[in-house]
Amino acid sequence: MAQLRKECDMAGTLYLCATPIGNLDDITFRVLETLRSVDVIAAEDTRNSIKLLNRFEIKTPMTSYHEFNKFEKGRQLIEQLLSGKNVAVITDAGMPGISDPGEELVKMAYEAGVPVTVLPGACACVTALTLSGLPTRRFCFEAFLPADKKERKDVLEELKTETRTVVLYEAPHRLRKTLAELSEVLGDRRLTICRELTKKHEEAFQTTLAEALVYYEDKEPKGEYVLVLEGADKEELRRAGQESFAELSLEEHMERYLSAGMSKKDAMKAVAADRNVSKREIYALLLEQE
């Protein structure tokens, strides 16, 4: 422990640096200064990031840090940080750690006692949300839907009852499939489709899932997409819940809560809330059936 504390005391800092999501002028002065001053830059794709560094005449050495080497390279970066070097992490676009392997490096840094700080900036999720015209106070971010069929199905089922605004990323070659799946599972919802954010051909338009499917029948999807989807209607969910509970007998409904360990009093209260009636009415009905 004493040795670890000694190493941490002289450790460098891990800087999570936001990079532009399209327009290179969106980078901050603070990020530029940090990229010039650190000992090494860990980049998701050095071939992509070199364009950014060349634009701003940054000569700091780069090393690749991506999804397929995040554990091995992550350990190497932690060793450098513990030796006193400062490391900046950048992704291809936006905030490292958001739908990005930088998340793992942050975890490793905390476990090693390495200082971590964030230099905020552009983020496609927040940019699209604020541009969408949909409610922004409460939202959930799903990034890219899972590729695994079972996991993808589970996430889509969860979204059926998600009342917050939902933000999704999607690649152009998968857009039609994703729109079709969302429409099939969630029904028709309001949707804002954002494309090529902050770039020359930026586009954002409000539509619905049904209309979007028709639109992209003839139009070839191009660029990177962010889908901002209306949350489920609370009143419709409440009505649907009441209808499903109505299919249960009162005894079956009570048994659901009693078998979960609830007291009879609390179970009656829960059943009354589910059926939108008073607890007294539930109590009276149960007495009649005894």
User: Could you list the pLDDT tens digit for every one of the 290 residues in the chain?
Assistant: 344 444 466 899 999 999 999 999 999 999 999 999 999 999 999 999 999 999 999 999 999 999 899 999 999 999 999 999 999 999 999 999 888 888 999 999 999 999 999 999 999 999 999 999 999 999 999 999 999 999 999 999 889 888 999 999 999 999 999 999 999 999 999 999 999 999 999 999 999 999 999 999 999 999 999 999 999 887 776 666 555 666 677 777 877 777 777 788 877 787 777 777 777 777 667 666 66
For residue 103, which amino acid is it? Answer: E
Contact 221, 175 (CB under 8 A): yes
Q: What is the pTM of this model?
A: 0.77
Please identify which residue in the block is written with the tokens 């659901």. 256
Helix, strand, coil percentages in the chain from 3-state DSSP, rounded to 5: 50, 15, 35
How far from 200 is each of 24, 51, 121, 122, 206, CA to CA, in Å?
A: 11, 17, 19, 16, 19
Nearest-angstrom CA–CA distance, 245 and 126 = 38
- Chain centre to alpha carbon of residue 101: 13
Nearest-angstrom CA–CA distance, 6 and 113 = 10
At residue 242, the pLDDT reads 55
At residue 2, the pLDDT reads 40
φ, ψ of residue 159 in degrees (nearest 5): -70, -20
Contact 77, 87 (CB under 8 A): yes
